[in-house]
């Protein structure tokens, strides 16, 4: 294999060499406005570290959009995005060392710049200090799935350099997801139309980019009708569990399948339904249980009665053998009045999970969260802990865990008025007992006028990174932004 491992001491020694001069150089680059925002954003428990800053990852007249980001095993933040500076869309990227130093050229370097459009990258750390990027590619005239692995210098590690074809069959593909396999490769899942309706396909790429499952992808679920919106999570036993939404008649179902490292399906071919209760189920999120199974969280309509006014959230633990550990009905996660939806869930690092959602129990969107412990108990109050219930809407929480801390970032419309709906980004930090570390309601990350999308948050070893696309003026093209912060010890 073409492995070019990145040794952490390279960056650390570089940082030592540059020392304070590097920090002074960086400080000069931060505009006064960004500094003012930084100070307002970072008082309290989220302190300004030696590298906390709002970075304009791109500053171009052409669109840089749909960034995806990941923090690698050495603390490097990788950002990849869809970039229109060339004759068609290509993939560009940027990397930041753990201390915030920009590692690649200003405005990013081309990761994949080949014929026709390369779009909507997703990324996962490769476990060796680099990153794996998966994207939708139109080079063959259709919509195909491609992948490449890059080292910390941005050098492609797999052949050919402009990406290996993961699925190049006729028929649409969409909603691609990727997760590390823990051995420098990755698992990928996507929706696929090759059989005439939507199915879930997947692939396991090893550290050399070789397909471990059937060429062009193995079947995760090829049942009649449409299966879509897959989410995947490592199962802790060398494989992956995939959950999806099956638009069956008369009820939408959520089901899951465990895929072994070699592509074998461990559970029945149609997957294991997470609940047998009547009523629609939708929009699953999945977190591996580290023991071969997974926790699944979904939006459930069983109490809605067809009114579309009272969605709830339910959960299931599907064990390694495909059994529903929490019974055929599933287990309530939040059954408060009104609508609960738009769930995010991540591992808590201790065999459990953090879950957050958008909640309309008080009419306008608020955010709530819950922690599932490895012993299957809920750590926080029934129906969830308030993350932010400020005026206006708070929605679409993104989560990151670091040690005993949960970091939550979200889109916030608290400055909403009859004339305008300013869209800000906010952050909050909770300890393991659910105590907020910042002001109740959260701290602002960005409050300048603009439209934001594709926000992601990461936390590792006391560092926090948030990335997003940001269009600051109507009619302007979007750019990619990043916020790099440091956690104070609690």
Residues forming contacts to Ca ion in the complex (CB under 5 A) are 88, 90, 197, 199, 227, 310, 312
User: 19 phi and psi, to 5 degrees?
Assistant: 50, -140
Which residue lies nearer to Ca ion by CB, 199 or 479? 199
Looking only at the bridges linking them, the beta strands covering 90-96 and 77-83 are antiparallel
For residues 4 and 157, the answer to whether their CB atoms sit within 8 Å is: yes
Which residue lies nearer to Ca ion by CB, 197 or 277? 197
Whether cis (ω within 30° of 0) applies to the bond prior to 250 is yes
Q: How far is the CB of 337 from Ca ion (least distance, A)?
A: 6
Which residue lies nearer to Ca ion by CB, 90 or 151? 90
CA distance 403 to 407: 11
Which residue lies nearer to Ca ion by CB, 222 or 444? 222
For residues 292 and 235, the answer to whether their CB atoms sit within 8 Å is: yes
Q: How far is the CB of 415 from Ca ion (least distance, A)?
A: 27
If DSSP codes are grouped into helix, strand and coil, which group holds residue 144?
Answer: strand
From residue 15, give the alpha-carbon distance in Å to each of 8, 95, 389, 420. Answer: 11, 15, 41, 44
User: 33 phi and psi, to 5 degrees?
Assistant: -65, -45
Q: How far is the CB of 361 from Ca ion (least distance, A)?
A: 7
Q: How far is the CB of 439 from Ca ion (least distance, A)?
A: 28
Which residue lies nearer to Ca ion by CB, 134 or 459? 134
Residue with tokens 């050919």: 160
Structure token digits, residue 254: 């959520």
Which residue lies nearer to Ca ion by CB, 227 or 280? 227
CA distance 355 to 316: 13
DSSP labels, 163-189: -EEEE--SS-EEEEEEEE-SSS-EEEE
Q: How far is the CB of 383 from Ca ion (least distance, A)?
A: 9
Q: How far is the CB of 330 from Ca ion (least distance, A)?
A: 15
Q: How far is the CB of 371 from Ca ion (least distance, A)?
A: 20
Which residue lies nearer to Ca ion by CB, 91 or 459? 91
């Amino acid at each position: 294999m073409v492995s070019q491992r990145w040794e952490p001491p390279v960056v650390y020694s570089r940082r030592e060499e540059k020392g304070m001069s590097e920090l002074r150089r960086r400080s000069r680059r931060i505009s006064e406005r960004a500094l003012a925002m930084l100070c307002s954003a970072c008082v309290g428990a989220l302190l300004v570290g030696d590298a906390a800053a709002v970075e304009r990852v791109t500053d171009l007249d052409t669109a840089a959009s749909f960034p995806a980001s990941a923090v690698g095993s050495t603390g490097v933040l990788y950002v990849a995005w869809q970039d229109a500076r060339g004759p068609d869309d290509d993939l560009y990227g940027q990397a930041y060392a753990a201390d915030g130093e920009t590692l690649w050229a200003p405005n990013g370097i081309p990761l994949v710049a080949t014929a026709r459009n390369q779009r909507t990258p997703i990324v996962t750390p490769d476990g060796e200090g680099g990153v794996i990027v998966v994207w939708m590619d139109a080079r063959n005239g259709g919509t195909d799935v491609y992948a490449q692995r890059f080292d910390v210098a941005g050098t492609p590690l797999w052949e050919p350099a402009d990406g290996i074809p993961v699925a190049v069959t006729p028929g649409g593909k969409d909603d691609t997801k990727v997760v590390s396999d823990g051995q420098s490769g990755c698992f990928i899942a996507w929706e696929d139309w090759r059989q005439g309706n939507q199915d879930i396909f997947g692939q396991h790429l090893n550290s050399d980019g070789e397909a471990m499952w059937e060429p062009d992808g193995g079947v995760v679920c090829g049942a009649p009708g449409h299966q879509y919106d897959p989410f995947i999570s490592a199962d802790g036993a060398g494989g992956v569990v995939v959950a999806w939404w099956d638009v069956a008649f008369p009820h939408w179902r959520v089901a899951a399948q465990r895929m072994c490292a070699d592509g074998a399906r461990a559970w029945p071919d149609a997957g294991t339904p997470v609940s047998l209760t009547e009523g629609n189920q939708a929009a699953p999120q999945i977190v591996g249980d580290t023991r071969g199974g997974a926790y699944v969280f979904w939006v459930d309509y069983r109490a809605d009665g067809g009114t579309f006014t009272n969605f709830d959230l339910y959960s299931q633990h599907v064990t390694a053998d495909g059994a529903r550990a929490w019974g055929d009905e599933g287990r309530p996660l939040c059954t408060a009045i009104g609508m609960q939806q738009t769930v995010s869930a991540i591992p808590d690092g201790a065999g459990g999970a953090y879950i957050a959602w958008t909640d309309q129990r008080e009419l306008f969107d608020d955010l709530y969260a819950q922690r599932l412990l490895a012993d299957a108990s809920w750590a926080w109050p029934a129906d969830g802990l308030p993350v932010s219930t400020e005026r206006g809407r708070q929605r679409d929480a993104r989560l990151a865990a670091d040690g005993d801390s949960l970091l939550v970032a979200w889109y916030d419309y608290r400055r909403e008025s009859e004339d305008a709906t300013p869209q800000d980004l906010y952050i909050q930090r909770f300890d393991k007992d659910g105590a907020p570390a910042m002001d109740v309601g959260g701290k602002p990350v960005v409050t300048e006028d603009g439209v934001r999308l594709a926000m992601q948050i990461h936390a590792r070893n006391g560092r926090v990174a948030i990335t997003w696309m940001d269009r600051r003026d109507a009619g302007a093209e979007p750019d990619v932004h990043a916020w790099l912060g440091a956690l104070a010890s609690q």
